Structure formats: structure tokens, C-alpha cells
Amino acid sequence: MFRKDYILRMVEMLGELIASILGLIKKGNYTQASQALDNAYFNFLKEDAAFLRSIPKENITEKLITEHNYTNNHLEILAELFSTEAELQYAQNKPIACLEFSEKALLLFEFLDRETKLFSLERTAKTNAIKNRIKEITAKF
């Protein structure tokens, strides 16, 4: 019971943090949003943001699960952070970086859909939004 309560509190905290980061992005406070994201990577996943950002999308789930013992909960947090990172890059008119983070977030969300076998309307909506963003960016190239 304690572990479940802890996880629920962490999810709530992450949701609040992402909402605040998205608010900073909307206001144009990109430096603050980036710093908050950097802190979130470390606070929630105990890894440096640069390390997580540098993992190639081709083997991201395998590397994190086998080499770093990440659980589905860790991957869900990372997918949320990558999705938020994509929003920051999009707002800063950096389409290549936005595409990279969008693709990583999508891969993680799709992996979680397959692995957890639980339907999540929220995750489906996020996945569809990410797919639309990827289509929008790739149509420009």
C-alpha cells in the first residue's frame, strides 16, 4: 500500500510540474522551462538530463530496461518529460529537436501500451497528439 501511495503522489507531482513547465513555455520563459525540465529528469529518474537526451531512439527502451533497470513507471515518466521537451523545442522553433523528442516519447508511450496492456484514454490522446506533431514537422521537410 505504501508503494502504491508513493507512486500516485509522484505521478501527481509530475503532472503538476509538467503543467507549470508548459505554463512557462506558453509565457515564453524558455530558460526557466529548460531548467525545470533538467531538474525533473534528475529528481524523478535520478539521471542527468544530457544522458537521457542522448540515448538514440532506436534502442531506448532496451537500453533503459536492461542496463539501467528502468520499470514501466520510469519509462512513463520519461515519455512525459520527452513530450514536454518536444513542446519546448517546438515553441523555440527548433523542429529537428522537437521531432527527435516527439519520436522518443511516441516510442515509449507505444511500448507502454504494448507492455501494460491497459487502455488509457489519456495516453491515447497524447500518442495521437504526438503523431500529429510528427506529421506536421515531417511535412515541412
Grid cell digits, residue 97: 529537436
Measured CA angle at 41 (ends 38, 43), to 5 deg: 105
Query: What predicted TM-score, i.e. pTM, was given to this entire model?
Result: 0.91
Compute the mean pLDDT over every residue in the chain, rounded to the nearest whole number. 91
Torsion angle of C-alpha atoms 128, 134, 138, 139, degrees rounded to 10: 40
Contact 99, 137 (CB under 8 A): yes
Domain boundaries, given as residue ranges, for the chain: 2-139
Closest CA to 105 of 131, 124, 79: 79
Compute mean pLDDT per 10 residues along the chain, 141 residues long, and list them.
63 88 96 96 92 94 92 93 97 97 96 85 91 94 75
Nearest of 51, 31, 45 to residue 79 by alpha carbon: 45
